[in-house]
A and B are shown apart, each in its own frame.
Chain A
Amino acid sequence: MNRTLRWLSRNPIWGFILLIFVFFSLANPFFFDLQNFENILVQTSTIGLIALGMTLVMINGNIDLSVGGIVALSASLVVDIQGWEIFAGWGDWQLVPAVAAALLAGVALGALNGLIVWWTGVDAFIVTLGAMLGIRGIVFVYTKEQSFYATNFAFSDFGSSNIGPLPTLAVVFLVCALLVHWLLSQTVHGRNTYAVGGNRQAAVNAGIRIGPHMMVNFIILGFLAALAGMTLASQMGASTPTLGQDYELWVITAVVLGGTKLTGGAGNIVGTLGGVLAIGILRNGMNLMQVPAFYVLVILGVILIAVLFLDRQLNRKGQEGYRL
């Protein structure tokens, strides 16, 4: 019992999830339903995939505001390239170059962000703020402001398919979550992620090459954002150049709700999962109760600040009476 409480005080978001889960289950007959839970998982998978990568980057003490652009670019690429004439005779194999190009774009842009942070030493916030504008520019140049529609039915079907009893997209998300969790908790790279964010100088002194290290995390995030873009395109069977706008803010909200510190050095995937689910359940539940979507925005904003406040109160040791 005591351990559960301590765990909850470190991951307050799961307490909140429990609360809204019980609330919506009692308040709405359609909420507590396996089909609905699957919906929630699918709805959260896009933001969720990006949030996994963002957790790594933020534990590093960095941030990435450009993920929305990567989502749009990867969606546009995957939808557009599968329709190219040279792949017309490839059947479903035409998806291979399309998917490869989309993922490659995500990886390349992640690498570019990481490389700039590494070489120039400019704060990641600024680097990716610029990239947010710039990548959106690339998307518009590439698409000429056009939306694309998927020509390959296998691609659109993928978004609504199931693996066994579970929706494929939910499975993709959960598998990625497990992988990133494993990376963060079991591998040398993952442990170094905490070191680089928690005490950069110590990491440098210990011989960790922090530039390449941070770049790897930006690449992972780029990859996951591209993946999220593709799943989104697959669900819609189309792509628009404005896709993913504001995603950076949603993702950061989810990650912070999950307890990752903006200053770096602390956070974990279990928390991020909680943050993503909290947003998902809230949106889904309020939607079922026919509350207009605007209220979710207000509630989310308030919760974000409340979590921050709570965190401050809970972790306020040794500050007795200090008025600083």
Chain B
Amino acid sequence: MAEERLKSATRILTQRGILIAFILFMVGFSVVSDRFMTADNLQAVFRQAAIIGVMALGVTLVVICGNLDLSVGSLLSLSTVLVVDLHDKIGPISAIAVTLLVALAVGAVNGLLVGVARLNSLIVTLGMLSAIQGLTLIYTGGQNVDIQNQDTTWFAIFGRGAILGVPTQILIFVVLAVVMHVVLAHTPFGRRVYASGGNPTAAVFSGIRRGRVVLATYMTSAFCTGIAAIILGSRVMGSQNNVGQGYELLVLSAVILGGTSLLGGSGSIAKTVIGVLILGFIQNGLLLLGFAYYVQWLVTWVVIILAVWLDIAAKRGRMFSPFA
């Protein structure tokens, strides 16, 4: 009986490991730092997390569908450069529209190559990462871009403004997260995404047009990155050519940290939001404690591996791999 209880305790610990770790983090930091649990600080964390968060929402869809999207970092660079550069040339509304259209087009290329031509997603998006980075540099000729009338443009609302006291970027993140959650969990399309990722062959045998589903996930991911670029461009009011470099793997870390499996077929938006927040809180907490910013990378390393390990251990019912 005691053994049973111990077992179920272990199960809860491993299954809800990431949530428990999250709570422990929060409690730990609030004990150590009295500035941690303040409204200002929490808002700062959310604001910081909004960009990675918005991108991660889209990537979650791609990953659940059984694919990877490594092109989002480069696409963030391209979109930010575009929206900032075009802002002064054609006005904010047109700039936003063009940026989102370009992002969607990039997503469509990814989606067609992976979904219709059925090429390996890691390599396709790796190639796109390189190609988009090159296009960005060609577009700017290697120069940085910025917005001239930074103080007067209404474009500032996305990255610097607030609506009803809530910073706009947080609002965008929350609204997008809710919409995506509903789409994924409560629409036929969402179910198709899970089925296509869980077993692509069975999905096709069930009449699902897998290529279209994959295409839609990539376009969603690119669209989310486009939105993130608008927030970033508005926050910085300028952009470097390589501003998004490395984001693809940070975003993926957040998705994995939340507990969405890279094998596809499982995961959720809620998990990703938790993953994003954990990354955000690790960063913020360590900075508050006076550690250099790069210490968070070390902690993230340990946390990612522990989180995925616990997840896998719970599924296979033993801690160590059968090959150990």
| Residues of A that sit less than 8 Å from B by CB | 65, 116, 118-123, 125-127, 129-138, 140-141, 144-145, 204, 209-211, 245-246, 249, 252-253, 256, 262, 292-305, 308-309, 312, 324
Interface centre among A116, A118, A129, A245 (most CB of B within 10 A): A129
Q: Quick one: closest B residue to A204, CB to CB? A: B323
In the complex, the answer to whether B134 meets A140 with C-beta atoms within 8 Å is no
**Listed stretches B34-42, B160-168, B220-228, B245-253; interface member:** B245-253
Residue B91 lies at the interface, judged by CB distance under 8 Å to chain A = no
**Is B23 interfacial (CB-CB < 8 Å)?**
no
B131's partner among A119, A123, A297, A308 (CB-CB below 8 A) is A297
> Interface code B137-154, partner A: CB below 8 Å = 1, 0 otherwise?
110001000000000000
Residue from the list B119, B138, B305, B324 in contact with A294, Cβ < 8 A: B138
Indicate which residue in A120, A297, A312 contacts B134 across the interface (CB closer than 8 Å). Answer: A297
| A302 touching B297 in the complex, CB below 8 Å, given contacts A119-B324, A294-B137 | no
Is A134 within 8 A of B297, CB to CB? yes
**Cβ B302 vs Cβ A134 within 8 A:** yes
B-side binding surface: helix, strand, loop or mixed?
helix
Taking each of B122, B131, B138, B256, which has the highest tally of chain A beta carbons within 10 Å of its own beta carbon? Answer: B131
A293→B245 CA distance, assembly (Å): 17
Q: How many A-B residue pairs have CB under 8 A?
A: 164
List the B side residues contacting A140 at CB < 8 Å: 292, 294, 297
- Within the assembled complex, what's the spacing in Å between the Cα atoms of A294 and B321? 44
User: Is B178 on the interface with A (CB-CB < 8 A)?
Assistant: no
Chain A contacts for B237, CB-based, 8 A: none
Cβ of B189 under 8 Å from chain A? no
Q: Which residues of A contact B324 (CB under 8 A)?
A: 118-119, 121, 211
Contacts of B316 in A (CB 8 A): 121
Instruction: Name B120-138 residues within 8 Å CB distance of A.
Output: 120, 122-124, 126-138
CA distance A312 to B117 in the complex (A): 9
Provide the B244-275 mask, 1 if CB < 8 A to any CB of A, else 0.
01100100110010000010000000000000
Of A65, A129, A144, A308, the residue contacting B256 (CB under 8 A) is: A129
- Contact present for B118 and A312 (CB under 8 Å): yes
Q: Which residue of B lies closest to A125 (CB)?
A: B262
Shortest A196–chain B CB gap in Å is 10
Complex: chain A residue closest to B134, CB-CB: A297
Would you give the shortest CB distance from A216 to chain B, in whole angstroms? 14
A241: shortest Cβ distance to chain B, in Å?
A: 9
- Judge if B309 is at the interface, Cβ distance under 8 Å: yes
A124 CB to closest chain B CB (Å) equals 11
A133, A210, A309: the one within 8 Å of B117 (CB): A309
**A304 close to B126 (CB less than 8 A):** yes
Q: Which residues of B contact A300 (CB under 8 A)?
A: 127, 130-131, 134
Chain B nearest Cβ from A72, distance in angstroms: 12
Interchain residue pairs with CB less than 8 A apart (13):
A121-B322, A121-B324, A137-B297, A140-B294, A210-B323, A249-B70, A249-B130, A301-B129, A301-B132, A304-B127, A305-B119, A308-B120, A324-B204
- The answer to whether A118 and B321 touch (CB under 8 A), given A301-B134, A302-B127, A312-B118, is yes
Closest to B297 in A: A137
From residue A2, how far is it (CB to closest CB) to chain B in Å? 29
Please give, as numbers and ranges, the residues of chain A lying within 8 Å of B124 by CB-CB distance. Answer: 305, 308
A252 touches B126 (CB 8 A): yes
Which of B123, B201, B256, B323 has a CB less than 8 Å from the CB of A262? B123
Contact A309 B119 (CB under 8 A): yes
Docked-complex contact A122 and B305, CB < 8 angstroms: yes
- Given the interface pairs A120-B305, A252-B126, A253-B130, the reply to whether A294 lies near B142 with Cβ below 8 Å is yes
The answer to whether B298 and A134 have CB atoms under 8 Å apart is: yes
Instruction: Choose one: B70, B252, B301, B321; the contact of A120 (CB below 8 Å).
Output: B321
Inter-chain contact A262/B297, CB cutoff 8 Å: no
B128-A301 in contact (CB<8A):
yes
Chain B contacts for A309, CB-based, 8 A: 117, 119
Query: B322 touching A262 by the CB < 8 A rule?
Result: no
A298 touches B134 (CB 8 A): yes
For B122, B130, B135, B309, which residue has the most chain A Cβ atoms within 10 angstroms? B130
Q: Is the CB of B305 within 8 A of A301?
A: no
Give the distance to chain B from A252, nearest Cβ to Cβ, in Å.
7
Residues of B within 8 A of A292 (CB): 137-138, 142
Residue of B nearest to A299 (CB): B134
Interface: B93 (CB within 8 A): no
Pick the residue among B128, B138, B201, B304 that contacts A126 (CB under 8 A). B304
Q: With A121-B312, A304-B126, A309-B119 as given contacts, are A126 and B294 in contact (CB-CB < 8 Å)?
A: no
Interface residues of B in 34-53 (CB under 8 A from A): none
Q: Would you call A301 and B131 a contact (CB within 8 A)? A: yes
How many angstroms from the CA of A303 to the CA of B249 in the assembled complex?
23
B304 shortest CB reach to chain A, Å: 4
